[in-house]
Chains A and B, each alone.
Chain A
Amino acid sequence: MSHFWKPTFTYLQYAQICARTVRNSLKEEARVVAVRRDEQGLKFAKWEAGKQGDLKNTVGNRTVA
């Protein structure tokens, strides 16, 4: 039981990679539905001294503006 990915990835990142791999291996119909889950992200903004900063979006693992 060696977690060879440990130095580079966190468990959550590892779990997301596995999930993405599984989703991409489905039959066509199911895959179209599943791949939408890959693109779920969240919106966040940093607040400083009571003022909201820029609103940023995450898509999957990455932060995009």
Chain B
Amino acid sequence: MNFLARSVRAVRPVRLVRSYATEAAATGLRLTFAVPHQTIYKDASVAQVNIAAVSGDMGILASHVPSIEQLRPGVIEVLEGASSKKFFVSGGFATMNPDSSLNINAIEAFPVEDFSAETIRHNLAEAQRIATSGATEEEKLAAKIEVEVLESLQAAVNAK
């Protein structure tokens, strides 16, 4: 009973989730992952995508409930078969559609290997310094945002 109530909320009441599932089972999860200057995945068939959303971490499989999620600065992991690729995104949105296609749009996204731990450490120390002793409130707030992003980045790089 609960399941039906939830699917009615997420999907327009006329169609049952079941009809989307048969469509999805045939094609699997199709991922389009792009940043303004580059298309990372275009309509690629993948098994699972783990995203870091503002509302929590979630794993998206084919026929996931359609939803729009705001991404927080964090790791997007794409699982295709046996291999997995991790990207750190600065933020953006993930849109899951009823036909099992997932669109991820980010402003900046790079493989986690492309980051330098030393530079992150240095930037983090700098940002923490400005966050406490910056000249203006705006500068301090911008530095706090940077600290948040850098801490998440550091955790992602160190987790490898």
Binding site for B on A (CB under 8 A): 1, 4-5, 8-9, 14-19, 21-28, 30-31, 34, 37
The one of B55, B110, B120, B149 in contact with A18, judged by C-beta atoms closer than 8 angstroms, is B149
A-B pairs with beta carbons under 8 A, tally:
77
Compute how far the CA of A23 lies from the CA of B115 in the bound complex, rounded to whole angstroms: 9
State how many angstroms separate the Cβ of A41 from the closest Cβ of chain B. 14
Which residues from chain A contact B127 at a C-beta distance below 8 Å? 21
* Contacting pair B146 A21 (CB below 8 A): yes
Total interface residues on B, CB under 8 Å, equals 29
A14 to B149, CA, bound (A): 11
Q: Is the CB of A18 within 8 A of B107?
A: yes
Once A21-B146, A27-B114 are accepted as A-B contacts, the answer to whether A1 and B107 lie under 8 Å apart by CB is no
Instruction: Give Cα distance in the complex from A24 to B91, angstroms.
Output: 15
Q: Report yes or no: B114 in contact with A5, Cβ–Cβ below 8 A.
A: no
Docked pose: A15 CA to B141 CA in angstroms: 13
| Among A9, A18, A27, A28, contact of B141 (Cβ-Cβ < 8 Å) | A9
CB pair A25 B115 closer than 8 Å:
yes
Task: Decide if B119 touches A26 in the complex (CB within 8 Å).
Answer: yes
Question: Chain B nearest CB: distance from A36 CB in Å?
Answer: 10
A-chain residues with CB within 8 Å of residue B62 when the two chains form the complex: none
Contact B114 A22 (CB under 8 A): no
- CB-CB nearest 3 A-B residue pairs: A22-B90, A18-B90, A19-B107
Residues on B with C-beta less than 8 A from A9 are 141-142, 145
Q: How far is the CA of A56 from the CA of B54 in the complex (A)?
A: 37
Chain A residue nearest to B120 (CB atoms) is: A25
25 A–B contact pairs at CB < 8 A? A4-B144, A8-B141, A9-B141, A9-B142, A14-B91, A14-B145, A15-B91, A15-B92, A16-B107, A17-B145, A17-B149, A18-B73, A18-B145, A19-B90, A19-B91, A19-B107, A19-B108, A21-B150, A22-B73, A22-B89, A23-B108, A26-B110, A26-B115, A26-B119, A27-B115
Residues in B with CB closer than 8 Å to A26 are 110, 114-116, 119
- Contact flags B39-56 to A (C-beta < 8 A → 1, else 0): 000000000000000110
